Each structure stands twice: as C-alpha cells, then as structure tokens.
C-alpha cells in the first residue's frame, strides 16, 4: 500500500479542498437550510470519481446512494450523513462556522468532524486506490443520509424500500475519534435509545401563585413522578427495566480491562473533580459502555425569565432519554414506563414517544473487525483502542445488525473536536492518516473475507 499512501500525500491539498468546499455549504437539517445543495454536491462528487450516484427520495431529505466496482462479489459499505447541527452560538466561534479555515493545523467548521470529514476521507480513499491500482478489490457502496442530526427519521423507510442497495458484507460506520492519548478508537456498536416527553397539565391557564394553596401545581406533580424513576445510586426503578440486559461475557470483561479510558483528561476537559458515584477504573468503564441510563434532558414550566413573576403554571414538560444496551428493546421500555407511571398513580401524565432506536453490537472477531484492527496498526503505528460499544446512539441497528451486517466505526475526529459545539475541528494530519487507513481497509477487507471462507471450507472438509 506504500504507493497508495504516497499518492494520498501528494494529493492531500486536493482532498483538503474537497472537504473545505463541502463544509462551506451549510446543510442544517433542523432548519432545512442548504440541504438540497449539499446533497447535490455529494452526488456530483461520487459521479466525478467514476461511481454511479443517485438521490433516493424519502418522506424527508433524500439519501445519496453511490456505488463503485459493482462487478465484485464482496461489498463494503460506508454510512455517512451530509446534514450538520446548527452553528449556534455563533459568537463563540473563533473562525466563521462555514468558512472551513485552517488554523494551527486544524480545519475549523461546523460538520467537519460530524460528519463531512469522514465522508470526504472515504471518497478520497476510493479515488486514491483507483488512481494507483486501477480498480477496487471490493464493491463499494456509499449510503449518505440527510437526517442523522434530527434522528434519522426516515432511514428505516429507505432501508425497507432499498434492501438490495443496503445489503453488504460489512459497513464502516459514520463516526470515529482519537482519544486524549492520540490513539485511534475502533468502536463496534452503539447504545440504543428510548426518548420520550412527559407532560403534566393542571388548570386551563397560568394563574397567580397564591392559588397554589388550593390548586395543584403540575410542576410539583411531574417532579414527584420523576422521583419514582431512579434512586440516588442511579438504579432505575421501572419494573422489568433490567430484565433483558445481556450479561457480560468473559470476553466482554477482558475487552473492558484492556480498553484505555483517560479519566484525568476527561475530567479536566469538562471541569469536573470526579465521575458519577465517584466511579473509577473498571466499574467506570462498565457503566459507560455496558449499563443503561435514564437522563433528564430538559425541564420546562412556568416563568424562568429575568426578574420576578409569581405564577402557578398550568403545564409542566420534561424530556427524558433512556440509553439502552443489548438486548433491551426501546418499544418495550416505553411500554414499561407507561405501566410504571400508571402503577404509581400518574396515569394522567401524557407520555409522548420520539426516538426509538435499538442498541447494536458487532463481534470483535470476523473479517471486518480484523481488517480495521490490522490496518490501523499499519497506518498509525499501534493498534486501536477497542471500544465494544459507544455510549452514544445512532441508527446502526436499522442499517446493519438488523440485517446481519457487521459494522465498525473508525474516523478522523479527535478528543477536542467539539462536535455539536462551537469551533468544531479536525487535525489536518488526522485527515490524511484517515484517508490512508480507509484505503488500507478497502485493500484488506476482501482478503479477510477470503481467509474466513477458506477456513470455513477447511473446517467443513474435516467434519
């Protein structure tokens, strides 16, 4: 692969230009801003590199689908998204959020880490490999949606209507980072999510707070309902909530033991003295990766503006997310939550479902896993930090594990990439290494698939 790596180095300015051009095009799904233009740019770039490309309509924003080397039997897909978060608060950016300026070796732009940098890295890897080797050793599929930042609202619709396009032997997932120690992290799954809103209503209008002597306050009632959900030691009290949490295997615990987690740097980054429950070491990593959560994301009621306003609110709302682990199912958790509220005398509280996403995991063994780990050692000089699951959530199960497709995350973010925050960034050096890594995966994955098939054939002959 040395010749491919050298080609990437010689053409790095061109690839950086692709990324800057895409980042300079706003594509904020939440505001329907620049989405058509960004989708068109991705489609055009796929065509420019010699692939087939089309925008496949959904009930929301289209999915851009591209394909290369469709004569090959083995297929590797790349899942990415062209939408980004809003850039607010703009005043905290040191560079304009859509200027894609390079400052002290960092490309600064909204969406550069999440997720346009990883998308361009993968396109550049395809370009470099083709330019040097003549053809790709594997069929490549690009699945680039426009709604990841708003919950992938119509991705299941796309998958159900395009199973042939989605099917692959492995998928490189959208995100990826280096840790505080500068080592690449390879992630083999994501937590699921049950995201809901609880609404408690009282009188038909806000009123003077003196009426609290005789009129029930929905804010207090909602707080009392919330107090039934979780104990101070973080134990979730919903009956049946933990029933389907998969027990940790010996291999799971071995991976946790080997997984580096820089506690000191993480606490310093967020200005904290300690983690929840003063956890450290293995218990901290186990809670982060393998345990579900119940988190209040926002509480809205009454008057919270400047100065004084004595009011008895007529309504209180709270948004909650439950991060789920294998083998929990989000719709079942929603049902259990409804039953819990009813059993505790809160049947009047309305429960509104939003995101329902299954957790997803890929085996740490298998052709794709081996390809990612082996090539990381070659490109980065050391093996990656193995994360069996991300504490975050994405539609991985819909696109991959639910269809029997293994998936691994590897990308070009860094410990201070500031995803979803001002001054989002990636390092130029990480960007170039990321292209080399993806090119190496493209080369290695079909070899691992062939080795697996040969091993299975030998085992079949012996039996």
Q: Is the model's pTM score more than 0.85?
A: yes
320 and 177 within one domain? no
Q: Is residue 207 part of a domain?
A: yes
Which residues touch 10 (CB under 8 Å, ≥6 apart)? none
pLDDT of 458 higher than 80: no
388 and 326 within one domain? no
Q: Is residue 463 part of a domain?
A: no
pLDDT of 463 higher than 70: no
- CATH code of 11's domain: 3.40.630.10
Which residues touch 202 (CB under 8 Å, ≥6 apart)? 215, 216, 217, 218, 221, 312, 313, 314, 315
CB 390 within 8 A of CB 188: no
Q: What percent of the chain has pLDDT over 70?
A: 99
Q: Is residue 15 part of a domain?
A: yes
State the total domains in the chain: 3
pLDDT of 307 higher than 70: yes
Q: Is 363 strand, coil or helix?
A: coil
36 and 110 within one domain? yes
pLDDT of 185 higher than 70: yes
Q: Is residue 376 part of a domain?
A: yes
Residue 170 backbone dihedrals phi, psi, to 5 degrees:
-170, 155
Interval 238-288: pLDDT, tens: 999 999 999 988 888 988 998 889 999 999 999 999 999 999 999 999 999
DSSP 62: P
- Give the pLDDT score at 370: 96
pLDDT of 184 higher than 80: yes
Count of CB atoms within 10 A of residue 438's CB?
A: 29
Q: Is residue 460 part of a domain?
A: no
Per-residue pLDDT band for 461 (boundaries 50, 70, 90) equals low
pLDDT of 180 higher than 90: no
Taking alpha carbons only, the member of 320, 297, 323, 151 closest to residue 241 is 323
Taking alpha carbons only, the member of 421, 166, 195 closest to residue 321 is 195
Per-residue pLDDT band for 18 (boundaries 50, 70, 90) equals very high
- Give the pLDDT score at 455: 83
Q: Is residue 102 part of a domain?
A: yes
Q: Is residue 20 part of a domain?
A: yes
Interval 69-94: pLDDT, tens: 999 999 999 999 999 999 999 999 99
430 and 338 within one domain? no
101 and 153 within one domain? yes
341 and 256 within one domain? no
266 and 217 within one domain? no
218 and 121 within one domain? no
Interval 377-387: pLDDT, tens: 999 999 999 99
Please tell me the least confidently modeled range out of 105-109, 157-161, 304-308: 304-308
Of 354, 380, 405, which one is at a domain's C-terminal end?
354
Q: Is residue 313 part of a domain?
A: yes
- CATH code of 348's domain: 3.30.70.360
270 and 304 within one domain? no
In angstroms, rounded to a whole number, what is the distance separating the alpha carbons of residues 110 and 99?
A: 9
- Give the pLDDT score at 457: 78
Of 310, 338, 354, which one is at a domain's C-terminal end?
354
pLDDT of 62 higher than 70: yes
212 and 78 within one domain? no
426 and 306 within one domain? no
399 and 448 within one domain? yes
What is the domain range of residue 268? 250-286
State the average pLDDT over residues 358-364: 94
Interval 199-251: pLDDT, tens: 999 999 999 999 999 999 999 999 999 999 999 999 999 999 999 999 988 88
- Give the pLDDT score at 376: 97
Bridge partners of residue 77, in order along the sequence: 141, 171
- Give the pLDDT score at 462: 63
């Amino acid at each position: 692969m040395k010749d491919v790596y050298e080609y990437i180095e010689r053409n790095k300015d061109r690839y950086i230009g692709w990324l800057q051009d895409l980042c300079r095009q706003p594509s904020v799904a939440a505001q329907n801003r620049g989405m058509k233009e960004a989708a068109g740019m991705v489609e055009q770039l796929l065509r420019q590199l010699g692939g087939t490309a089309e925008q496949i309509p959904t009930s929301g924003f289209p999915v851009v689908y591209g394909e290369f080397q469709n004569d090959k039997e083995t297929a590797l897909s790349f899942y990415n998204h062209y939408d980004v978060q809003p850039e607010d608060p703009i005043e905290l950016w040191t560079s304009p959020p859509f200027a894609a300026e390079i400052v002290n070796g960092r490309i600064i732009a909204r969406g550069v880490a999440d997720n346009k940098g990883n998308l361009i890295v993968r396109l550049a890897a395809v370009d470099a490999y083709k330019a040097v080797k003549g053809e790709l050793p594997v069929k490549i599929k690009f699945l680039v949606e426009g709604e990841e930042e708003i919950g992938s609202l119509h991705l299941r619709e796309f998958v159900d209507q395009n199973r042939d396009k989605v099917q692959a032997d492995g998928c490189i997932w959208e995100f990826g980072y280096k840790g505080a120690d500068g080592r690449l992290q390879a992630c083999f799954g994501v937590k699921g999510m049950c995201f809901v809103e609880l609404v408690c209503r009282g009188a038909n209008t806000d009123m003077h707070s003196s009426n609290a002597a005789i009129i029930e306050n929905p804010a207090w009632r909602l707080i009392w309902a919330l107090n039934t959900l979780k104990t101070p030691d973080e134990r979730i009290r919903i009956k049946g909530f933990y029933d389907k949490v998969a027990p940790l295997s010996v291999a799971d615990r071995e991976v946790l033991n080997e997984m580096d987690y820089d506690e000191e740097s993480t606490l310093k980054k967020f200005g904290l003295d300690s983690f929840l429950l003063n956890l450290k070491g293995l218990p901290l990593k186990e809670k982060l990766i393998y345990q579900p959560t119940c988190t209040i994301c926002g509480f809205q009621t009454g008057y919270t503006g400047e100065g004084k306003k004595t009011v008895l609110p007529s309504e209180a709302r709270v948004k909650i997310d439950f991060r789920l682990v294998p083998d929990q199912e989000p719709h079942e958790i929603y049902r259990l939550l409804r039953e819990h509220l009813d059993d505790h005398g809160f049947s009047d509280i309305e429960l509104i479902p939003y995101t329902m996403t299954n957790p997803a995991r890929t085996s740490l063994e298998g052709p794709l896993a081996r390809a990612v780990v082996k090539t990381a050692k070659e490109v980065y000089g050391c093996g990656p930090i193995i994360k069996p699951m991300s504490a975050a959530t994405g539609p991985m199960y819909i696109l991959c594990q639910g269809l029997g497709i293994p998936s691994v995350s590897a990308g070009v973010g860094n410990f201070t990439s500031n995803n979803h925050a001002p001054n989002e960034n990636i390092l130029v050096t990480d960007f170039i290494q990321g292209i080399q890594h993806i090119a190496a995966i493209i080369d290695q994955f079909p070899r691992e698939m062939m080795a697996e098939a040969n091993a299975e054939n030998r085992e079949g002959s012996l039996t």
